[in-house]
Structure 1
Amino acid sequence: MKREIIDASQLELTEQVVEIKRVTKVVKGGRNMRFTALVVVGDKNGHVGAGLGKAAEIPEAIRKGKEDAMKKLITVKLDDNHSITHDIQGKHTGASVLLKKAPEGTGIIAGGPARAVCELAGIGNIRTKSLGSSNKQNVVLATIEGLKLLKSPEEVAKARGKKVEDILA
């Protein structure tokens, strides 16, 4: 699958910190404290990415996480009522997230990590269910993997050699 490069400098990105973990390394002289920040960025218009930042201070870890997320932006295919084009399941290591298309007025029905990704991607109506691992990092990455696998009706019609109307019927 070809990965398209998105120029993050032209997008107005919003960031959301999903998780901050304090990591301790025991060394000869005592304990070294560091922080890991899981950050999701998106423009609420079909672009979203997640990144991990590690540093000695929390603000620095968040900044690094945001930079990492901007490098990993993906484009999400949405339909007319701000939902995904079809149901799909995204998997990453032990986490699996079921993403279901929803009608207008449903809102975002999702847990914390998956909700952050859906909100920043610009999805307005979706139902999700986190299966397997509840690790926040893996749930975020599984959600993004599911959104990455989405296909538009035009792509499906082209692959099957049919018209878009035949696919949507």
Structure 2
Amino acid sequence: MVEKLVHINRVAATVKGGRRFSFAALMVVGDQKGRVGFGHGKAREVPEAIRKATEEAKKSMIRVPLRESRTLHHDGNGRWGAGKVMVRAAPPGTGVIAGGPMRAVLETLGVQDVVGKSSGSSNPYNMVRATFEALKVQSSPRQIAAKRGKKVADILGRRADGAGSPDAIEG
């Protein structure tokens, strides 16, 4: 299980005698095999806030289907508040091209080749949530075939005799 601290913030509650300070932590947790979750924790001390955030992240994990265990099946868009995120599948050797909080989510997910772009709000909380919205719409050809009641080969556009494959097409 990989844990990444995305953001830590000192927050204040105004009380009768002045201000009471505490810390808020945003954590992303993943197994690098297609499962990822995020959590938010608040406490008077930083380590306690991180522990709470990590526990919440482990409870909120989602499964994302990966193609060849290295990239996404298709492009996805997510939005949370004013934060907008776009993630695209990429060819082998591309690496993780994404910034800040989005990068933390994609690395803990186990994606090796992906291109991500964020626009609008750069608030880490909104960016993480928007990234999760983009990842939730991911579906594998097997899931799409089951939903439509077809075979996976029909979804991918491959023919049984191999006539439609790139190898069979003469230049």
Could you say whether these structures have the same fold, taking a TM-score greater than 0.5 normalized by the shorter chain as the test? yes
Instruction: From 109, 122, 145, give the equivalent of 1:121.
Output: 109
The alignment yields a C-alpha RMSD, in angstroms, of 1.2
Asked if the contact 1:91–1:146 (Cα under 8 Å) also holds between the matched residues in 2, the reply is yes
Instruction: From 11, 36, 52, give the equivalent of 2:40.
Output: 52
* Letter aligned with residue 27 of structure 1: V
Map 1:137-152; keep pairs closer than 5 Å. 137-152=125-140
Paired with 1:59 and 1:32, the residues of 2 have a C-alpha distance of: 18
Paired with 1:80 and 1:107, the residues of 2 have a C-alpha distance of: 14
TM-score relative to the length of structure 1? 0.89
Instruction: From 108, 132, 145, give the equivalent of 2:96.
Output: 108
Asked if the contact 1:108–1:124 (Cα under 8 Å) also holds between the matched residues in 2, the reply is yes
Cα offset, 1:81, TM superposition: 5.6
Q: For structure 2, which runs of at least 5 residues remain unmatched after alignment?
A: 158-171
The DSSP-based 3-state class of the residue aligned with 1:17 is strand
Q: Please, which moves more after superposition, 149-158 or 67-76?
A: 149-158
1:165 counterpart = 2:153: yes
Between the two proteins, what is the percent identity of the paired residues? 51
Instruction: From 56, 71, 76, give the equivalent of 2:64.
Output: 76
TM-score relative to the length of structure 2? 0.88
Map 1:13-28; keep pairs closer than 5 Å. 13-28=1-16
Count of residues in Structure 1 that have an aligned counterpart in Structure 2:
157
Paired with 1:88 and 1:101, the residues of 2 have a C-alpha distance of: 9
The DSSP-based 3-state class of the residue aligned with 2:147 is helix
Moved over 3 A (4+): none
Larger Rg, first or second structure (1 or 2): 2
